[in-house]
Structure formats: C-alpha cells, structure tokens
Amino acid sequence: MAVVLEALVQFCQMLVVLALAPLLAGYVRKVKALLVGRRGPPLVQPYRDLAKLLRKDVVLAHTASWVFRVAPYLVFAATWVAAALVPTFATGLLFSYAADMIAIVALLGSARFMLALAGLDVGTSFGGIGSSREMMIASLAEPAMLMVVFTLSLLAGSTQLSSIAAFMQTPDVGLRVSLALALVGLVMVAIAENARIPVDNPATHLELTMVHEAMILEYSGRHLALIETASFVKLLLYVSVIGCVFAPWGIAVSGEGFAAYLAGLAAYLAKLTVAGTVLAVFETAIAKMRVFRVSDFLGAALMLGLLAALLRFVSRVT
Amino acid sequence: MWGIATLLATGVAAVVLTRARFVYSVTLGVTTLTLVAALATLLAPGAESTLVLPIGLPWLGAHFRLDALAAFFLIVVNLGGATASLFGLGYGSHEEAPGRVLPFFPAFLAGMNLVVVAADAFTFLFAWEFMSLSSWALVMAHHRRPGNAAAGYLYLVMASLGTLALILALGLLAGPDGGYAFEAMRSDPPTATIAAVVLVLALVGAGSKAGLVPLHVWLPLAHPAAPSHVSALMSGVMTKVAVYGFVRIVFDLAGPPEWWWGALVPLIGGITAVLGVLYALMEHDLKRLLAYHTVENIGIIFIGLGLALAFGANDMPGAAALALTAALLHVFNHSVFKSLLFFGAGAVLVSTGERDMERLGGLIHRMPLTAFAFLVGSAAISALPPFNGFVSEWLTFQAILLSPSLPQWLLKFLVPAIGALLALSAALAAACFVKAFGITFLGRPRTPVASDALETDRWSLTAMFALAALCLLAGILPGYFIDALAPVIHGLTGANLPRQNELDWLTIVPIEQSRSSYNGLLLFFFIVLAAGLGAEAIHRLASARTRRSPAWDCGFPDPSPATQYTSGSFSQPIRRVFGTVVFRASEEVHMPPPGDARAARLHVRLHDVPWDALYVPVAKIVGFAADRLNRVQFLTIRGYLTLVFSALVLLLMVLAVWQ
C-alpha cells in the first residue's frame, strides 16, 4: 500500500512540476510588469507561448547536426527528472533514493553540457559566445552550489533532500550563522543558474551581455518549446530546493492522510508565490552587471558556501 | 608470467618482422587472456599466487606475487592494452615508421605488467625502468617532428628523477639488512621518521610518473608525442601503474599512516586537479589537452587516496574503505574514458592530419561514429550522470562529507576546502570538454582537411565503442564494480563497504540509505523515458515539419568559418577569471590605425608558473655548475695528478674524522 502511495505521490509530483513551471514564470513576469507600472501579459501567457511554438515548424540551419536536434529532448528530460526528485509538496517520493542532492546538481550539469554543445553546433558566433559564457558561469556556480550542499549535509548528516527536509523540521536545527550563509549562497547560485538579473537577462537576447538566450538563438518551433519548458522547470526546481530546505513547513510526510497532501500543496503554492514575488522585486530593483563582474558575484557565493561549511565546525551546537 | 614472456618475445620478433597486423594481433590475444586471468583472480576470493624465479639479484631471485591489488591493476593495464592493440590494428597501418613502434609496443605492455606483479624491490625497479625506457622509445618514434626530441629529453630526466626517488624509498624500506623482498618489508615496518621520508619519496617517485603538480611538466609534452594508441596507454594506463606504485609502497609497505599524511596528499591532489584542468582549458592541441586533463584526474585519485590515509590513521576503516574505493574506481574509470578519448583524437589525427583544434571543426558530419564515441567519453570524463566518471567522483564527495568525524582540526578545515577544489575541477572539466568536443566536432569546418575528413576504420571504431559501452555500463551498474573491488579494499584497509548488489534496484549506498544513495540505472531509465515521452508527445501534438535554411545568427550570418567561436575564444572568459592569477596571463591588442588595412592582432601570453619558479632556476644552477666544471676537462697532466691526489687526501681525512 505504501509503495502504491509513494508511486502515486511521485507521479503527481512529476505532473505538478511540469504543470506549475510555466505559471511561476508567468507570475514573475506579471509582478515585474506591475512593479514598473505596466499591466503585463496574463498569467497564462507562457502556456500560450509554448502552444504557439509547438504549432510552428522547426527551421534548422544547414550546418546543424544530430546533436542540435537531440539536445532539446535530453535537456528537457534531465531537467524534468531532476525536478521530479526534489520534494515539493510531499516527501517520501518513491524514487527519491535514486539521486541525492549532488546527483541532482550533476543532472542539471548534464543538461547544461548538452545545451552548450548545441550552442556550438551550428557554428555561429552568437551560439559560441553563449556556450562559452554559460560554461564560465557554471564553472563557478556549480562548486558554490556543492559547497552549500556540503554545509547542509554536514548539518543534517545526509545528502538526501528528504532527510535534509525532515531534519530541518526538527527543533535541534536552531538559528545558525552557517545556515544563513548557505541560504544567501544558494540564492545567488539560483539567480546565476536561471539566467536572471543581475547575471543575465531573460527578457532580451539582443544585448552583448547575453548568455542563455544567445546559446539557444538558433532554436525554433518544438525544439525551442522544449528548451523553454526546461528553463521554466529549472527555475521551479531551485525554488523548490530553497523551499524544501529553508522553509520546510507544510511539506506532507508519507503516511499522512489526504488532507496533509492538500495542505502540502497549498503550502507549496504559497511558497512559490512568495519566491516569485521576491524574485520579481529583486530583479526590478537591481541593474544587470557586466559579464566579467559575474565572477566576483559567484566567487562571493563560493566563499559564502565555504565559510558556511567551515563555520559549522566552530559553532557550539554540534 | 607466460603472458609477459610472450609479450617480450613478440617485441623481439617485431624487430625482425615489422608486420603491424601480426604484432597487434598477438598483443591483443595475450592481453585479453591476462585480463581474463586477472579478473578470475580478483573475483575468486583468496586466489593468490606467488612465483620465485632464479633471475635478478643472485641471493634474492625474482619474486612475483599476484594478490587482489595486483589483479585489479592487471585488469586496468590489460584492458587498456587489449583495446589499444585493437585500435592499433587499424591505426597502425597509417604509421610511417612502424619499425620504431612495433618492437617497443609489446615491450611497454610487458613492462607495465611486470611492475604490477613484481614482489621485490629489484624486480619492481627493473620493471619500472623497463616501462619508462620502452615508453620513452615510443615517445621518440617520431623524433624528427619539432618538439618531440625536447619532450623525450625532458621525459628521460623526469623519469630518472622518479626512479631515483623510488630507489631511495625502497632502499629505506629494506633497511640496512637488505630485506628487498616485499614480504620482508611488510613484516618489518619502518619507524615513523623513515616512513615519513618514504612517503615523500614515493610522492616524488610515483607522483612524477603520474603527473602530480609540480612534477607534471613532462607529461603534456611526452604523452601526445607518441602515436595515439600509445598516448592512450601512457595517459590511461601508465599513470595508473604509477598510482599502483604509490598504493603499494604507502598503503602496503610503509606501515600504519600518520594523520598528517592525510592532509598532505589530498592537498597536493586538490591543487593538481584544479591546475591540471585549467592548463587543459588553455590548450588548443587536442592531444595535449587530453594529456593535461590526465593531470586533473590523477589529482582526483590522489584526493581519494589521501582521504583514505587520513581515515586510516584515525582508525576509521569504514570511511577509509569508502575513500579508497572511490580512488580505485576512478583509476579504472579514468583508464577507460581517457583511452577512449585518445583513440578519438587518434582517429581525427589519421583522417585530417591535424591535432590543432583551431584547424578542425564540423567533423561530426564526416565522422559521425567517432564523434558519438568521443561524446560519450567527454560526458563520462566531465563527471556527468549517468556515466561512470560521476560515480567515482560522487563517492569521493561522500568520503569528503565524512570529514567532520576526523579528530584533527587541520583536517576538519582542510577537507571541505579540498571538496571545493574538487567541485571546481569537476565544473571546469565540463567546460573543458564542451570545448574539446564542440570545437573539434561541431560547428563548421575551419580548414579543407576538416571538411574532407573520412570516417576511421572498423578496428578503431570497435575499440572506441567497446570502451564507450563500458563507460555507460560502469555508470549505470556501479554496484558490481564496487563489489569487485571489495577484496582489494579489504586487503588494504581491513574493512569493506556494504555489499552493493544485494540492494534493491541496484542502488549504491556507501554508508546507509538515509544518508546518501545513487542509482545510475534508474536515472538512465528515467532520462530515456522522459526524453522518449517528450519526443512522442511532441511529435503527436506539435507540428512535425522541419525546414532547412541558412543559420539565423541574429540576421547577419557570415559564410566564413573564421567567424565561429574558436578554442581560444571559448576559453577566454575562463582565462580572464582564473588565468590572470594562475597563469599571470596578459593580453596585448595590436590595432592598426584607422585606414590601415592590416589585420588587428591579439597576443595572449601565459606563464607556466611552476615551470618558471621551479625548473628554470634548477636548470640555471645545473648549467652554471656544468660551465664551471667544464674547466676540469681541460687540465694539464700535472693538474690532473694534483686533483686526484688532493681528492684522495680529502677522502682519507673524511674517513679519519668519521671514525
């Protein structure tokens, strides 16, 4: 019975992340528009965009190889699988043991690897600039993320997200400096990884500081739809990770009743709303930085992560 | 033993015959047989065998012993040897001077096999030198190409330094009574001081062969100079034999470790890993990039070995077993994907005659199968799931996460920092291989040789695909590989990981389920499933039409392939972020004044800091001393007699004072 329930939760989770991801992106856009005094597109605009892209033909460059055509599916698959393994509204996912947090970070790395290759495939300067910068950013963001994972797992004694979330709900967590540093580091990584301001600007691809949008410039039609979906899912994934580790309230634990799951879902939606609003306010309030300042930004995230891991040893609570 | 003898005989026969097909067929057969025998030894518990031959030192004989550790490294050596022979069957026919390669190839294989099974100091050192010299001969196979002679010279100097350190290390272990057999050394462990000296000497001796920074300088010059299947053996296998030397001396012979060993070794490993991958990123010669990247992986292996020492010294055998498993699994994994990548580079070299990535590009259209195999190898070496590189790095991370339970404060602080170095090197490795694969195989051809390339031969493809399959297999079924390592780990640390293949769904769990687990099979299955579902849904729901057109490129596509990103431009951001500190990189732009039609030029200058700081002064001192001593060569007969006489008096006085 428990297995069936876990499988059901796992399945729901896969659908929930896929269904909610464009909504989160639409919500952030809406709030940003409202903050600068525009009315903004409706919340469901990302869904409409995806549907429109799906109806369009794919226009493929003559020089594109199979890597270019396979990459969107693999990027989408790897991101989706990673997101499906992060507890959103309930822990006790059937397959959560398949990948711990390090493996989830690495799965996102696989997706990025394929996408960066696809950026180089057509042989244009825009694709190259995007891939090259994306890999530079990733080379700093990934270690920073892993240092955050280190800190968390040193505290919780586990790299499994379910175990960390369970630990965070116990009273012996307390307020810790290293947790605060890890949170800041994780947020900085999330901003960089999702190509948000101040690292990159998701709203434009006609600026020379562009990273992600330049890499996917040659994509069109269904391929572009998949890549866009993958980047929506990735944003949702990072919000879910932050939510499940630093705000684990309301997450349903396996074995609780149906009501607990509904409460968990409601709590999750509330977390998404808060995170989306904060992100939109942050993005409106801050200016984009030059691309070579990004290394300072992410270097700071890496140092925060390392400091958080080291402070763990000096703090008195053990 | 018979295998090694056959290999040597093949080498001798090859001098006369110089028929590539014959030599490679024999080496293929022999290495496969040895591989099977070693596998049987590793999997059958307690199947040790020893052998004493009446050769070598007259009072000692030559001792050989095949235990679990030797069997594991025999597998690595012979797997590499077998695939290299298979690759050589095709690749060797393009060799311009087969007489310079064929005799030494089997000899090189025999030397590596001999190192692994040797069980006394003399045989070990003899085999080590034999391995070094035969590989040196292979490096010098194309000695007329510019740079190769210098590479060979540097290799010879560094190999001599390494052997000198190993002679001293084994001499100290043998002690004044001359117990040169490993059995005698094991039964009589040295004092703590001597063990510390032995550790440092082993780091120098094995580390110079493996490529630890700052002793790595010869490696990126010598490995690419050899023919590609030999480069694969040198990078993929010979560095592992060096790791074997280190493990044998430090873990097996030098007695119980001290805790500070566990601080020194991983620190060197971490620095090696990051510097190695940064060097690789700055490189645009494909084979040299791969060679530099070997340095990175050796660093990762030494991180694992060092952690095993740290845990072992603090009496935590379970954690030591985890760290050592991670290191040895990475030894195996790296030998697989590094051989694969060198084969790929060799195939590119054969069909285009180019190693410079700036002159390649678009090869995926002309060599689709090679490109596919190279892509698998690139993903595996970048530690991406679901391939095998990720499993061993994941295990290393799990070992690092056990560091808080270490009692020493230095280790507590140092190990997370080493974790950061490891994470950094893993992320940079991905960038490095996006560059290696992307610039070489993707994009548009940059030169006519690249656009006219042809797919390589079937032998080479078989070798590459066999290794690519192994990369995936070891990535999705790591439990079997970890279990196979159990006897080796048990022999060295006295503990074992939990048995992995009894767990549900072939998950791997290094410590316990609630702590961490990874299941490559499920991940692979899910990725395939999700991609398949996505593709199916998309092709049902969406427009399935595809139109071909020129590239969009924001409306200004330029037909010249020179407008693409090159290897230099790809690594420019990383050079700006890391290079100014690590390489003291400087850029100079020569911009002609307006109206002048000359091309603008950008010069990038990189400094090899260890080379400038360490090797140049030593070379200067040696040169200075040689100049001064040169005068002694041209003395008169009276001068010589005075010199001899005063030397004699001096020595006698020293002797008198000594006693």
pLDDT at B84: 93
> Which of B516, B518, B541 is most worth mutating to test chain A (most A CB atoms within 10 A of its CB)?
B516
- Kindly list the distances between the CA atom of residue A189 and the CA atoms of A197, A267, B428, B491, in Å, as whole numbers in the listed order: 12, 24, 16, 43
Q: Does A123 contact B573 at a Cβ distance shorter than 8 Å?
A: no
How many angstroms separate the CA atoms of A314 and B325, rounded?
30
> Which of B277, B425, B444, B527 is most worth mutating to test chain A (most A CB atoms within 10 A of its CB)?
B527
Tell me which chain A residues have a C-beta less than 8 angstroms from the C-beta of B382.
109, 113
Question: Does residue B355 belong to any structural domain of this protein?
Answer: no
Q: Does A103 contact B364 at a Cβ distance shorter than 8 Å?
A: no
Question: Does residue B536 belong to any structural domain of this protein?
Answer: no
Picking from B513, B534, B542, the nearest residue to A76 by CB comes out as B534
pLDDT at A318: 45
ipTM, 2 dp: 0.94
> Which of A50, A132, A155 is most worth mutating to test chain B (most B CB atoms within 10 A of its CB)?
A132
Cα A191 versus chain centre, distance: 9
How many angstroms separate the CA atoms of B343 and B84, rounded?
8
Residue for token digits 């390592």?
A: B485
Q: What is the pLDDT along chain A (318 residues), one digit of tens a residue?
A: 677 877 888 888 889 999 999 999 999 999 999 999 999 999 999 999 999 999 999 999 999 999 999 999 999 999 999 999 898 888 777 777 788 899 999 999 999 999 999 999 999 888 999 999 999 999 999 999 999 998 898 888 888 888 888 888 887 777 778 888 999 999 999 999 998 888 888 777 665 557 888 898 899 999 999 999 999 999 999 999 999 888 888 888 766 677 888 888 999 999 999 999 999 999 999 988 888 888 899 999 999 998 988 887 766 544
Which residue does chain B place closest to A61, by CA atoms? B551
Give residue B651's domain range: 609-658
Closest alpha carbon to B488 in B182, B192, B252: B252
Tell me which chain B residues have a C-beta less than 8 angstroms from the C-beta of A59.
546-549, 552
Give residue A54's domain range: 2-314
Cβ contact A31:B519 at 8 Å = no
Tell me which chain B residues have a C-beta less than 8 angstroms from the C-beta of A131.
434, 438, 565, 570
For B52-82, write each residue's pLDDT tens digit: 877 777 777 888 888 889 889 989 999 999 9
Q: Does B390 contact A106 at a Cβ distance shorter than 8 Å?
A: yes
Q: Does B530 contact A76 at a Cβ distance shorter than 8 Å?
A: yes
Residue type, B235: S
How many angstroms separate the CA atoms of B72 and B558, rounded?
53
Tell me which chain A residues have a C-beta less than 8 angstroms from the C-beta of B409.
313
For B198-254, write each residue's pLDDT tens digit: 999 999 999 999 999 889 999 999 999 999 999 999 999 999 999 999 999 999 888
Q: What's the whole-model pTM score?
A: 0.93
Which residue does chain A place closest to B546, by CA atoms? A58
How many angstroms separate the CA atoms of B242 and B112, rounded?
10
Q: Does B382 contact A113 at a Cβ distance shorter than 8 Å?
A: yes
Q: Mark which of B248, B269, B303 sits at the end of a domain.
A: B248
Query: How is A183-223 classified by DSSP, letter by letter?
Result: HHHHHHHHHHHTT-TTT--TT-SSSTT-SHHHHTTT--HHH
Tell me which chain A residues have a C-beta less than 8 angstroms from the C-beta of B550.
61-62
H helical segments located in B93-147: 98-101, 104-117, 121-139
Which residue does chain B place closest to A15, by CA atoms? B530
Picking from B379, B434, B577, the nearest residue to A295 by CB comes out as B577
pLDDT at B7: 65
Picking from A98, A122, A313, the nearest residue to B519 by CB comes out as A98
Q: Mark which of B211, B226, B248 sits at the end of a domain.
A: B248
Number of domains observed in the structure of chain B: 2
Tell me which chain A residues have a C-beta less than 8 angstroms from the C-beta of B383.
106, 109
Number of domains observed in the structure of chain A: 1
How many angstroms separate the CA atoms of B295 and B314, rounded?
29
Q: What is the CA radius of gyration of chain B?
A: 26
For B393-422, write each residue's pLDDT tens digit: 999 999 998 888 888 888 888 998 999 999
Tell me which chain B residues have a C-beta less than 8 angstroms from the C-beta of A63.
362, 443-444, 551
Closest alpha carbon to B90 in B415, B405, B458: B458
Q: Any bridge partners for residue B604, and if so which?
A: B587
- Taking 50 as the pLDDT cut, the residues of chain B under it are none
Residue type, B467: L
Cβ contact B186:B50 at 8 Å = no
Which residue does chain B place closest to A150, by CA atoms? B401
Phi, psi of B64 (to 5 degrees): -130, 145
Q: Mark which of B192, B214, B248 sits at the end of a domain.
A: B248
Which residue does chain B place closest to A226, by CA atoms? B534
Picking from A73, A84, A160, the nearest residue to B514 by CB comes out as A160
B40-48: long-range contacts, CB 8 A cutoff, minimum separation 24: B41/B66, B41/B68, B41/B71, B41/B74, B42/B68, B42/B71, B42/B72, B42/B75, B42/B484, B42/B487, B42/B488, B43/B484, B45/B487
Query: How is B72-86 classified by DSSP, letter by letter?
Result: HHHHHHHHHHHHHHH
pLDDT at A102: 92
Q: Chain A: nearest CA to B380, how far in angstroms? A: 10
How many angstroms separate the CA atoms of A270 and B306, rounded?
47
Extract the tokens encoding B422.
Answer: 């490891």
Q: Chain B: nearest CA to A277, how far in angstroms? A: 30
Which residue does chain B place closest to A230, by CA atoms? B534
Tell me which chain B residues have a C-beta less than 8 angstroms from the C-beta of A292.
573, 576-577
